[in-house]
A and B are shown apart, each in its own frame.
Chain A
Amino acid sequence: MSGPQRTRTAIPALETAGAWLLALVWILPIAYGLWAAIHPSAYSAHFGLNAPLTVENFVKAWNAAPFARYFLNTFLLVTMILVVQLVLCTLAAFAFARLSFVGREIAFILVLLQLMIMPDVLIVANYRTMTALGIVDTIPAIGLPYMASAFGIFLLRQTFKSVPRELDEAARVEGASPLTVLLKVYVPLAKPVYIAYGLVSVSYHWNNFLWPLIVTNSVSTRPLTVGLQIFASSDQGIDWSVISAATLMTSAPLLIAFLLFQRQFVQSFMRAGIR
């Protein structure tokens, strides 16, 4: 981020100190959880340099609940949602950006409505729909309400609109169908936006809790968030060390992915033109 292309305003020492203090406060809860997770329970609230390190808490947590299964469920869930979202949003966004069909404007407004009225608040009615469909307690039931994403459609439509028309005119003159033009011209050009959207979608659904809590009730469907909550609120006693270990364990893949993609994440957002 410190490219030579732009000069940065120097921040005075006092404000630098303030920023550092804020950053320390911000990282404190996570550092605290990390401390508890890698030390024996006796040290979970006592701090000292001589505290012995241990992986015991992670082993205990892993054995106390079917976390392997929860990991698999979450993995299946976020993959399924992302794949369907990418296909559906690409098709819809292209239609909105480049095809003039009857009712396009009103349809677009109806899509944007979902930016305000998200599935998260329609839990009661959606639960009834899932019951009627007979798919309560399945992984598709967790994902279905989120698969047609207004945010994704909106983001990709913006991107597709910025593609120079000359590019697709050329392809059309050669007799390519709109679908071919979409796949050959538009999708490759939108790659950075797909990456940004993918990161946002995966982290959102990895973290989502309330709807999965409502619509699942067995080990074979529960995602990590719900599994973690059931684990932490059950009769584990209040062994904070084990709970902290479980907490870090469930967040680890996302945290590692973020650390690896940090720069890309931030830059993709900027390139995607979300202001």
Chain B
Amino acid sequence: MRGSKTTLRTPRLFTHIYGWLMLLPAAVLLVAFTHYPATATFIDSFFSTPRGRRGAAFVGLDNYQAMVEDPVFWRALENNFVYAASVIPLTIALSLLMALAINGRIAGRSFLRLSFFTPTVLPMIAVANIWLFFYSPGYGLLDQALGLFGFSSTNWLGNQHTALACLIAVAVWKDAGFFMIFYLAALQQLSPQLAEAAAIEGAGRWYFFRRITFPLLMPTTLFVLVNAIINSFRLIDHIVVMTQGGPDNTTALLLFYIYEVGFKFWDTAYAATLTVVLLLLLAALALGQFLFFDRRIHYQ
């Protein structure tokens, strides 16, 4: 409707051409590196991997059949769900706590903010190396600290029961400060009159948080939630550095397995099949956001 005003003055065709010309450079790159590869991945999953002079042959659902029978795939999928289900709530809860602390009157606020946010700006690959040292059996800081309490040395990253938890800790540590920024921004937009009114009514702090602050922060929580979910399927740098998916695939996440299949075993057709699963998960998330979340909050 708003456009009708413009079109009264400028010829209609001119606006169409101008619009598309301005969009064109971005559109070409988006199609070439997002839409085309997503489509190609889907198609490739129905073909075999070309080897040497033998080209790709149509194999129907064979790749999917192999995937369903592949225990490593199920392992990676399960790992990824455990990982996401741990990282996401922990990160969100901590980032909210951090924001609430920094938003209040507190001694040493700049130090707190610096400390919480610094992990976010450092490359994951760099901090993962420090964490590797932190976890190293015997002389790593974690073992040294526990040694003071009489615990014996543990191979944290080499143990099937602890390796994934170690990676979860790194992921939470890395992202909490980033999401804190969004909560902080939202908290500073809340009207101070709310707190004053609540104080007059004699509402306790916890009651005020539960009934006023938290519901008002809901749009931020949803935004953070979506980003946290995406990150838990997208970021595997720390796995490459710290465990390489081991021991015994207990820390292989879906994208790490795709990377392994595609660029270590060079089985591109199977990697494409696994990617389809990842794309479907992300598409389900997009659809869920579209259907259930208030679109106006983020997209208008």
Enumerate chain A interface residues (CB-CB to B < 8 A): 1-2, 6-11, 15-16, 19-20, 22-24, 26-30, 32-33, 36, 45, 87-89, 91-92, 94-96, 98-104, 107, 110-129, 144-145, 147-148, 150, 153-154, 172, 178-179, 203, 206-207, 209-210, 213-214, 224-225, 228-229, 232-233, 238, 240, 243-244, 247-248, 250-251, 254-255, 258-259, 262, 266, 269-270, 274-275
Q: Which parts of B202-237 form the interface with A (CB within 8 Å)?
A: 205, 219-220, 223, 230, 233-237
What are 6 A-B pairs at a CB distance below 8 A? A8-B105, A11-B106, A87-B25, A243-B133, A262-B113, A270-B188
Residues of B within 8 A of A213 (CB): 240
Of the candidates B22, B117, B262, which one forms a contact with A99 in the assembled complex, judged by CB atoms under 8 Å apart? B22
Q: Which 9 A-B pairs have the closest CB atoms?
A: A100-B3, A101-B19, A125-B37, A148-B29, A207-B123, A99-B19, A8-B105, A145-B33, A33-B130
Per-position binary interface string of chain B over residues 107-134, scored 1 when its CB falls under 8 Å from any chain A CB and 0 otherwise = 1110111111111011111110111011
In the complex, the answer to whether A113 meets B185 with C-beta atoms within 8 Å is no
Residues of B within 8 A of A23 (CB): 111-112, 115-116
With a cutoff of 8 Å between Cβ atoms, the chain B residues found around residue A32 in the complex are: 130, 133-134, 141
- Bound state CA distance, A229 and B128, in angstroms? 10
Least distance between B96 CB and chain A CB atoms (Å): 12
Looking at the complex, which one of A104, A121, A206, A274 makes contact with B182 (CB distance below 8 Å)? A274
> In the complex, what residue of chain A is closest to B29 when comparing beta carbons?
A148
Residues of B within 8 A of A (CB): 2-4, 6-7, 9-10, 15-20, 22-23, 25-30, 32-38, 40-41, 44, 94, 97-98, 101, 103-109, 111-119, 121-127, 129-131, 133-134, 136, 139-141, 144, 173, 176-177, 181-182, 184-186, 188-189, 192, 195, 205, 219-220, 223, 230, 233-237, 240-241, 255, 258-259, 262-263, 268, 271-272, 275, 278-279, 282-283, 285-286, 297-299
Most chain A beta-carbon neighbours within 10 Å: one of B126, B131, B192, B195: B126
A84: shortest Cβ distance to chain B, in Å?
Answer: 9
B286: shortest Cβ distance to chain A, in Å? 4
List A contacts of B136 (CB < 8 A). 238, 240
Residues of B within 8 A of A102 (CB): 16
User: B16 contacts A210, CB within 8 Å?
Assistant: no
- Docked CA distance A96–B233 (Å): 30
- Cβ B126 vs Cβ A88 within 8 A: no
> Are A114 and B123 touching (Cβ within 8 A)?
no
> Are B126 and A124 closer than 8 Å at their CB atoms?
no
CB distance from B197 to the nearest CB of A (A): 14
Contact of A270 with B185 at beta-carbon distance under 8 Å, contacts A24-B115, A101-B18, A255-B118 already known: yes
Say how far A131's CB is from chain B's closest CB, in angstroms: 11
Report whether B19 and A255 are in contact in the complex, using a CB–CB cutoff of 8 Å. no
Residue of A nearest to B236 (CB): A210
Q: Which residues of B contact A172 (CB under 8 A)?
A: 9-10
List 10 other contacts, CB 8 Å, given A23-B116, A274-B182.
A8-B105, A24-B115, A30-B119, A45-B141, A125-B37, A148-B28, A207-B123, A244-B129, A254-B122, A266-B113
Residues in B neighbouring A95, C-beta threshold 8 A: 18-20, 22-23
Instruction: Kindly report which residue of chain A lies nearest to residue B254, judged by CB atoms.
Output: A121
Q: Would A119 and B33 be within 8 Å (CB), given that A33-B130, A91-B25 are in contact?
A: yes
Known pairs A23-B116, A91-B26, A116-B286; A209 contacts B123 (CB<8 A) = yes
Q: Enumerate chain B residues within 8 angstroms of A247, measured Cβ to Cβ.
A: 126-127, 129-130
Checking B28, B106, B285 against A19 with a beta-carbon cut-off of 8 angstroms, the contacting residue is B106
Q: Whose C-beta in chain B lies nearest to the C-beta of A90?
A: B22
Q: In the complex, what distance in Å separates the CA atom of A11 from the CA atom of B98?
A: 12
Which chain A residues border B15 with CB–CB below 8 Å?
Answer: 99-101
